[in-house]
Amino acid sequence: MAAITILFSTQEGTTETFAEKLANEITAKLILPKDVAFPPVEVKCIKNFDIDALLKRTSNELVFFFLTTYVDGGPADDAAWFGSWLEDMRYDFRVSKESMANIRYSVFGVGDSAYGENHCLFPKKVDKYIHEMAGVRVCESVFGDVGTPQDFDGVLDNWIDSCIRGIVGALSGSEAVLSTGISNITLVGEKEDEYEELDEEYVTSDEENDDVYVDAKESNELMDLEDLGSYAAAGLKAAKQARDEDQANGVVINRKKGTSTTTTHTREMLTPNLRKNLEKQGYKLIGTHSGVKLCRWTKAQMRGRGGCYKHTFYGIESHRCMETTPSLACANKCVFCWRLQTNPVGVEWRWKADRPEEIVEGAIEKHRLMVKQMKGVPGVTAEKFQEGMDVAHCALSLVGEPIMYPYINEFVELLHQKHISSFLVTNAQFPELIRKLQPVTQLYLSIDAANKESLKKVDRPLFSDFWERFNGCLDELAKKEQRTVFRLTLVKGFNVDELKEYAVHVRRAKPDFIEVKGVTFCGYSGSNPLTMQNVPFHEEVVEFVKLLCAEIDDDYEISCEHAHTNSLLISHKKFKINGVWHTWIDYPKFHELVNSGAHFTSMDYLAPTPAWAVFGDDRKGFDPEMTRVYKNKAKYEGDGAAYRDKIKESMIGSGNLAAAAELD
């Protein structure tokens, strides 16, 4: 049914009156063809509006925004949440560029030209971002200047008339709907060309934000695998250039690569440009090389809408989880990564190193500031809000390679002292640093491919001895006594027919757990080679995992499932005690053990897995205490048997006939 929603944001009240004016004028002046019903008109403060509902609009539900501009051109308090949500959507690679195609809208910005470049900056951004996600303007957006009151009323009245004409056009299917307008506006510090470039470079975010079911259209940007070589070359060139710069700056380079270094470096990792771009995507930066970001799942669980797969598999409370990294740099240029060509890379630490105390304190402070923005957001109870302010877990996996940070042990120790658990993900390139690592709650190795050739294609490592390093990491993992995990990302067409080789690595590293997850689609990226065709359905991942379990010795079994993120957990059977899975973590016990300095193992801090999280349960890993919100239900279904055939086809295609025959 047709409907009109007028959303306003105000700091001092003025803008609300304009919103009321539009509603009144629509009621008084709108004349529609006889066969079109008069739509209901609703005026609402944007703070009280369920923003996610915007995405479920049909094209005859129109939205008009009246947005005021506040400090530094930003939103008023009541629109802060909406602003960060929209920015997340705009820069999240899993969100389709078409995701707002059903939104018919227009924006009236309220601001004062006395603020120069910041005049109506926030409303301009809103207009631009919605348009860039395929939203259609029913009339041109307009940005009023309260500093010229003599003109203001006329500008507003003209816009209201345009809106009414636009509504008639949209609801009666005539041509009045605009699809262009002011998309060419230049925002402060953001030239249009630069901006488009950034789309390619800063398109995805952390690997943890696993909300995978996007409505992305297939990209026609599949890059030939041959091309990947040139990207690797670009990475080496960047590394060499940085080293040359270091040398020019008189910094001594430690030639013993991949080891912790005692060299004193003066160069800062984050350049002003990198800072600007990371901040634009919502990263809060700490010091000169660290970052923190409020994960989508942290927000979701605060709103009672479900936690991430680590909630299902290990009982973390996603709303109390801080996603951070003490090193935004790493030694790879993975094809999944959003930072292609621009990320700081290096085979060793070669930057100024900030003190771990400063990073831990800074990360907690910035995380809390982000949580504070969620106060009053629909679904966030006072209790959840308070809990969210009290960080209980740290996911060291945002971007970059945390283990490269020279004080990683001190960093982790500080977290544990504060009773914050540590989930550290490393990229299997620094065996010596893994060996030196103190106990963490859970240590991950990303296993992006199973053999030398595909690892080179997928991770594009900087090290020439990357394969030896990879194997060295497997050996180091095998020696760890606390919980260890293989993280395996399934990319159809890249690594699915390497089952047997994965099994060899499992036998070598003996991880406690193996997480298998379907890759997410990079809807925005021009330089990322993946398309929707590389994204497996959940049933396809299940089928793969069953095949993998059959390949590994009898020691492992599928334990948990989180269908929402296309993830499954394979666990060592020692975690199945008297027939009950114990994949969850007893966090207080872990802190007691780690802070006591006593010797302990992964068997000393386990907890039973609830029934809803166990593989085979109808709830498919969704906590029954949460409310499920579907974006696209159809995407949750797939055909496992057909996938088995596809794996077989792929094996035959790559000449692996023996393996294919075994699938019969």
Ligand X SMILES: Cc1cc2nc3c(=O)[nH]c(=O)nc-3n(C[C@H](O)[C@H](O)[C@H](O)COP(=O)(O)O)c2cc1C
Q: Which of 7, 26, 95, 110 binds ligand X (CB under 6 A)?
A: 110
Residue nearest to ligand X (CB): 111
What's the first-to-final CA gap in the chain, in angstroms?
Answer: 52
Q: Which of 60, 96, 118, 566 binds ligand X (CB under 6 A)?
A: 118
Residues 149 to 208 in contact with ligand SF4, rule: CB under 6 A: 208
Contact 195, 186 (CB under 8 A): no
Nearer to ligand X, 67 or 560 (CB): 67
Beta bridge partners, 291, equal: 285, 325
| Minimum CB distance to ligand SF4, residue 580 (Å) | 24
Which residue matches tokens 């939203």? 135
By a kind-dependent CB cut-off of 5 to 8 A, residue 606 interacts, out of ligand X, ligand SF4, none, with none
Nearer to ligand X, 12 or 175 (CB): 12
Cα three-residue angle 247-249-252, rounded to 5 degrees = 50
By a kind-dependent CB cut-off of 5 to 8 A, residue 297 interacts, out of ligand SF4, ligand X, none, with ligand SF4
What are 132's two structure tokens? 């860039």
Nearer to ligand SF4, 104 or 311 (CB): 311
Nearer to ligand X, 118 or 566 (CB): 118
By a kind-dependent CB cut-off of 5 to 8 A, residue 285 interacts, out of ligand SF4, ligand X, none, with none
By a kind-dependent CB cut-off of 5 to 8 A, residue 295 interacts, out of ligand SF4, ligand X, none, with ligand SF4
Q: How far is CA 410 from the centre of its chain?
A: 27
Whole-number Å distance between alpha carbons of 251 and 125: 42
Residues 303 to 362 in contact with ligand SF4, rule: CB under 6 A: 308, 310, 316, 318, 321, 323
Contact 95, 133 (CB under 8 A): yes
By a kind-dependent CB cut-off of 5 to 8 A, residue 310 interacts, out of ligand X, ligand SF4, none, with ligand SF4
SS3 of residue 638 by DSSP: coil
What is the maximum span of the chain, computed from C-alpha positions, in angstroms? Answer: 81
By a kind-dependent CB cut-off of 5 to 8 A, residue 325 interacts, out of ligand SF4, ligand X, none, with none
Cα three-residue angle 50-55-59, rounded to 5 degrees = 115
Whole-number Å distance between alpha carbons of 599 and 595: 11
Binding marks (x or -) toward ligand SF4, 366..405, rule CB under 6 A?
-----------------------------x----------
Residues 41 to 80 in contact with ligand X, rule: CB under 6 A: 68-73, 76
What are 513's two structure tokens? 């757990």
- Backbone phi and psi for residue 324, each to the nearest 5 degrees, phi listed first: -150, 165
Contacts of 83 (CB under 8 A, 6+ apart): 74, 75, 122, 125, 126
Contacts of 28 (CB under 8 A, 6+ apart): none
What are 361's two structure tokens? 């304190």
Contact 441, 421 (CB under 8 A): yes
Query: In angstroms, what is the C-alpha Rg of the chain?
Result: 26
Whole-number Å distance between alpha carbons of 522 and 206: 12
Binding marks (x or -) toward ligand SF4, 200..219, rule CB under 6 A?
--------xxx---------
Nearer to ligand X, 113 or 471 (CB): 113
Q: Which of 79, 138, 292, 295 binds ligand SF4 (CB under 6 A)?
A: 295
| Minimum CB distance to ligand SF4, residue 340 (Å) | 22
Fill in the DSSP letter of residue 534: G
- Backbone phi and psi for residue 561, each to the nearest 5 degrees, phi listed first: -145, 140
Nearer to ligand X, 71 or 642 (CB): 71
CA distances from 276 to 92, 189, 266, 268, 288 (A): 17, 9, 21, 15, 13
| Minimum CB distance to ligand X, residue 149 (Å) | 10
Nearer to ligand X, 113 or 288 (CB): 113
| Minimum CB distance to ligand X, residue 18 (Å) | 8
Nearer to ligand SF4, 162 or 209 (CB): 209
> How many residues sit in the footprint of ligand SF4 (CB under 6 A)?
13
By a kind-dependent CB cut-off of 5 to 8 A, residue 14 interacts, out of ligand X, ligand SF4, none, with ligand X
Sign of CA dihedral 331, 335, 336, 338: positive
Contact 65, 159 (CB under 8 A): no
Q: Which of 51, 146, 185, 629 binds ligand X (CB under 6 A)?
A: 146
| Minimum CB distance to ligand X, residue 369 (Å) | 19
- In this structure, how many other beta carbons lie within 10 angstroms of the beta carbon of residue 355? 12
Residues 262 to 291 in contact with ligand X, rule: CB under 6 A: none
SS3 of residue 362 by DSSP: helix
Whole-number Å distance between alpha carbons of 534 and 490: 9
SS3 of residue 372 by DSSP: helix
Nearer to ligand X, 47 or 299 (CB): 47
Which residue matches tokens 């023996």? 658
Angle of the 587-596 helix axis to the 408-417 helix axis, nearest 10: 120
Q: Which of 115, 129, 195, 385 binds ligand X (CB under 6 A)?
A: 115
What are 310's two structure tokens? 């680590």
Percentage helix, strand, coil, to 5, in the chain? 45, 15, 40
Sign of CA dihedral 56, 60, 66, 69: positive
Side chain identity at 599, as an amino acid letter? H
| Minimum CB distance to ligand SF4, residue 425 (Å) | 9
By a kind-dependent CB cut-off of 5 to 8 A, residue 323 interacts, out of ligand SF4, ligand X, none, with ligand SF4
| Minimum CB distance to ligand SF4, residue 394 (Å) | 8
- In this structure, how many other beta carbons lie within 10 angstroms of the beta carbon of residue 260? 19
Nearer to ligand X, 114 or 657 (CB): 114
| Minimum CB distance to ligand SF4, residue 146 (Å) | 41
Does residue 543 touch ligand SF4 according to CB under 6 A? no
Residues 3 to 22 in contact with ligand X, rule: CB under 6 A: 10-15
Nearer to ligand SF4, 348 or 401 (CB): 401
Contacts of 432 (CB under 8 A, 6+ apart): 258, 259, 260, 472
Cβ burial, residue 392 (10 Å; 0-12/13-18/19+): middle
Q: Return the closest-CA partner of residue 505 out of 445, 560, 456, 559.
A: 445
By a kind-dependent CB cut-off of 5 to 8 A, residue 579 interacts, out of ligand X, ligand SF4, none, with none
| Minimum CB distance to ligand X, residue 17 (Å) | 8
Q: Which of 57, 94, 104, 119 binds ligand X (CB under 6 A)?
A: 119
By a kind-dependent CB cut-off of 5 to 8 A, residue 318 interacts, out of ligand SF4, ligand X, none, with ligand SF4
Nearer to ligand X, 69 or 99 (CB): 69
Nearer to ligand X, 70 or 81 (CB): 70
Q: What length does the chain have?
A: 664
Site residues (vs ligand SF4, CB under 6 A): 208-210, 295, 297-298, 308, 310, 316, 318, 321, 323, 395
Residues in touch with ligand X (CB under 6 A): 10-15, 68-73, 76, 110-112, 115, 118-120, 146
